[in-house]
Amino acid sequence: MIQIEVVAAIIFHNDKILCVQRGENKYDYISRKFEFPGGKIEEGETRQETIRREILEELNIDITVEEEFLTVTHPYPDFILTMHSFICKSDSAELTLTEHIDYKWLKTEDLAGLDWAAADIPIMEKLMYL
C-alpha cells in the first residue's frame, strides 16, 4: 500500500485555530472534509520548511512554526498517511484560498462541530484539551 508523509499546521490567531475544507476528491472519504492545512514533504526539505512553503502556497499567509504537536499514522482504504502536526502562529487572519473551498477560525471548544478527515481527528481531539 502507498505510504504518504505530510505535515499539517495548527495555525493560531487571536486564540482561534484555522480549519480548512477540502474540495471534491476522487476519494469520497476525504472529499469536502475539514483538515489542518499542509502538504507533502519535498526531498531536501525539513518539516518546518515544508509547512511554511505549503501554507504560503495554499493560503498566502506567513506563519511562525513554534513546536511539533502530534504525529498521526492513519490507514485510509487506498493509502497510509503519516501526518506530523505543528503548532504555528499567524499575525493575520487574512488569507486567500487556492486549494480549499472554505475555512473557519474556531475556538478549540468548537472544533468538534466540523466534519473532519479521519487522520485529523486525533489532532483535533488533543487540541480540545490544551
Mean pLDDT of the chain: 97
The residue-averaged pLDDT of 59-76 equals 97
The domains found in the chain, sorted by start residue, are: 2-127 (3.90.79.10)
The residue-averaged pLDDT of 70-81 equals 97
Contact by Cβ (8 Å): 4, 16: no
Q: How confident is the model at residue 129 (pLDDT cuts 50, 70, 90)?
A: confident
Return the pLDDT at 76: 97
Q: Is the pLDDT of residue 105 over 90?
A: yes
Judged by phi (left if over 0) then psi (alpha if -120 to 50, else beta), residue 60 lies in left
Q: What is the pTM of this model?
A: 0.97
Q: Is the pLDDT of residue 78 over 90?
A: yes
Predicted confidence (pLDDT) per residue in 15-67, tens digit:
999 999 999 999 999 999 999 999 999 999 999 999 999 999 999 999 999 99
Question: 38: closest CA among 66, 13, 70, 5?
Answer: 5
Return the pLDDT at 61: 96
With a pLDDT cut of 90, the percent of the chain lying above it is 98
